[in-house]
Amino acid sequence: MKRVFSGVQPTGNIHLGNYLGALKQFVELQKDHECIYCIVDEHAITVPQDPKELQQHILDVAALYMAVGVDPKKSIIFVQSSVSGHAELGWVLCCNSYTGELFRMTQFKAKSGGKESVGTGLLTYPVLMAADILLYDTDVVPVGNDQKQHIELCRDIAIRVNHKYKDTFVVPDGRFMKSGARIMALDDPTQKMSKSAINVHSRISLLDEDNKIKKSIMRATTDSDGEIRFDPENKPGVSNLLNIYSAFSGESVEDIAARFAGKGYGDLKKEVVAATQDALRPIKDNYAQIRESDELKAVLRDGADRANAIAEKTMKRVREKFGLGI
C-alpha cells in the first residue's frame, strides 16, 4: 500500500478551499492507502500565535479531520510537535538546501513582502515541510495548488540527498484535485480563499451557519456580461462558482455551464448555496460531537505513538547515512 502524508496548520477558519483542495482528498485516499494526517503546529508558529488559542486550534483541526471523515482507526492523526523527528530532520535538510531556492518561494515572497525583519522560520518553512513528508517515506502528498512549489522543493531536496548519501528518501508526488485545487476568495476572485482575509464574506468556513453561507455566496463578486461560462482568466468570479459546484457534484465545469445556458448568475449562485449547505451540514453535526468528546486527545496520543514509530526508523537511517551520533 502506498503511503500518504499531509498537514494543515492549526490557525483557525478552516475554509472551503482547505476542504475541496485537501481534506476531501484525505478522506478518499483512506480507502486504499496508508494515510498519515498531521496538525502542523510547528508551521503555525512561523508567525506569532497566542499560545492559548493555538492549543484550541490544534484540537479544532483534529476534530475537523474526523468530522469530514478521516477515520482514526484507518489513518494516523497526530500533532507535529509530539514527534521530535520533524524538527530534527528539518535541521538536517536545512543543511542540504540553499538559501537561494528558499528566497525564490512565492509564498515566502508574499508573506515577507517588503519587510525589513522577517522571521527565519518563514524562510525555512518549506524545508520543515519537506522533513514532514520525507520522515514517513511518503509516496503521495494531497494538497492544494498553492503547495505545488513546496512539493517540488521537497522532491529536489530528496533527490539531492539520495545522490550524495545513496538511497535515503522516497521521492514523493503531489496530488491535486481537478476542481478544488485552487478555490478563490468570493469577494475578490483574483486572490485565493484564505484563512486570514479580513472580510468574512471572502470565505466560507466549514462551520458557517446556513445563513452566512447564503449571504457570502449570493454577494460573491462576478462580472457584468451575464454569461455563465468557464473562463478563469476573463471571468474569475463565475469560474470560481463553477469550480466549487463541480467539486461538490463531480459534474464537469463545462457540463454545469451548459446546463445554466441562458440563466442568470443568481440561479447559479442559488444552486451553489444549496450544494455548499448540504455538504457542510453533516460536517458541522459531526464536529460539534467530536470536539466535545474525551476521545479526541486519546486519538492524538495514539496517533503520535504510531507516527513516532515510523519516524524513528527513518531518523535511525538518516543518522547512519550522515554519520551523526555514535
CA atoms within 13 A on the CB side of 255: 7
Taking residue 149's Cβ as centre, other Cβ atoms within 10 Å add up to 17
Smaller CB separation from ligand TRP, 172 or 237? 172
Distance, in Å, from the CA atom of 295 to the CA atom of 143, rounded to the nearest integer, reads 27
Give the shortest CB-313-to-ligand AMP separation in angstroms. 26
SS3 of the chain: helix, strand, coil, percent, to 5: 55, 10, 35
The answer to the question of residue 22 lying near ligand AMP (CB under 6 A) is yes
Q: Which helix (H) or strand (E) holds 34?
A: strand 34-39
User: In the bound complex, what is the minimum distance in angstroms from residue 187's beta carbon to ligand TRP?
Assistant: 21
Joined together, the cell numbers standing for residue 138 give 511518503
How many residues line the site for ligand TRP (CB under 6 A)? 13
CB atoms within 10 A of CB 199: 11
243 sits near ligand TRP (criterion: CB under 6 A) = no
Active site residue 192: yes
58 binding ligand AMP? (CB under 6 A): no
Instruction: Specify whether 52 is catalytic.
Output: no
Q: Pick the catalytic residue from 2, 148, 195, 270.
A: 195
Active site residue 111: yes
Compare residues 90 and 144 and give the one whose CB is closer to ligand AMP. 144
Determine the straight-line distance between the first and last CA of the chain, rounded to whole angstroms: 34
d(CA 118, CA 115): 6
Q: Which does residue 141 touch among ligand AMP, ligand TRP, none (CB within 5 to 8 A, set by kind)?
A: ligand TRP
Q: Does 279 bind ligand AMP (CB under 6 A)?
A: no
Is the CB of 182 or the CB of 214 nearer to ligand TRP?
182
Q: Which of 143, 157, 186, 238 touches ligand AMP by CB under 6 A?
A: 143
Active site residues: 111, 192, 195
